[in-house]
Amino acid sequence: MRQSDAWEWVGEGDAPWLFTCEHASARLPEGRAWAAEDAWVAGTHWAVDLGAADVAVGVARALGGEVLLARFSRLWADANREETSPTLFRSACDGRELALNRGLDAAERARRLHGWWRPWHDEVASAARRRIGQPVVSFHSFTPVYEGGPPRPMAVGVLFDRDEAWATALAHVIQAELGPTYAVALNAPWSGRDGLMAGPEMAARWSGGRVLELEVRQDLATDPEHRARIVAAFARALAVTPP
């Protein structure tokens, strides 16, 4: 396993995709711990995309490839945001101020960017340059309900910006593989055209390949039986649907 403080590669093989998972870990850097008032957030979707890393690793292994996982919490610095994004360092979760990022000054922002956010994206860029023309697929998960809103009925979301044809074809195969009990939706529960696919989009700039993000509802991503079915469907769809 190759890793740094910011990233790790899992799996092995030369499958023709660049697989990434930007929200794979709830980890804080060595020497840092969640403050007592932030303890409630440490194991929640705010800190990590629950089940996403397991899905990503499962798909990579099924296809004979490897996946790049971030090793720092999205609340430390969000690897799926542009460097200038106002949510790169989130100040509150569920309306509660986050002590981890309270009073974050320019020096601390620069330290996190230099130590974690940029090394992650440097490794992504390096991997993408070795895979010129290959597609980028990022794995994430979403909550069944978000901040008191309506239930999200979809089991899987296929997010895209410019690569609608590939995303649509892939979604059809995933739906056929999973059957009607798992609803597959395009650009849901949010749209890939809203700037929330920043991580994989940056990777695709380097590789020149097509890009999309596969989202799994967290109650399914964290259940071994449901996750296994979804991993198999993703792997099958990617194998038979050329970008």
pLDDT, one tens digit per residue, over 140-180 is: 999 998 876 789 999 999 999 999 999 999 999 999 999 99
* Residues constituting the chain: 243
User: How many CB atoms are located within 10 Å of the residue 108 CB?
Assistant: 12
pLDDT, one tens digit per residue, over 183-226 is: 999 999 999 998 889 999 999 999 999 999 999 999 999 999 99
Q: Which domains does the chain have, with CATH numbers?
A: 7-240 (3.40.630.40)
User: Residue 163 carries which side chain, given as an amino acid letter?
Assistant: D
Q: In this predicted structure, what is the pLDDT of residue 101?
A: 96
CA distance linking residue 235 with residue 31, whole number of Å: 38
Report CA torsion sign: 23, 123, 198, 74. positive
Q: How far apart, in Å, are the Cα atoms of 54 and each of 66, 150, 179? A: 12, 27, 22
Angle at CA of residue 191, ends 69 and 15, nearest 5° = 35
Q: 124 pLDDT exceeds 90? A: yes
Q: In this predicted structure, what is the pLDDT of residue 195?
A: 82
Q: In this predicted structure, what is the pLDDT of residue 1?
A: 72
Q: Looking at residue 186, what DSSP letter applies?
A: E
Whole-model pTM? Answer: 0.96
Angle at CA of residue 179, ends 176 and 185, nearest 5° = 75
User: How many CB atoms are located within 10 Å of the residue 42 CB?
Assistant: 17
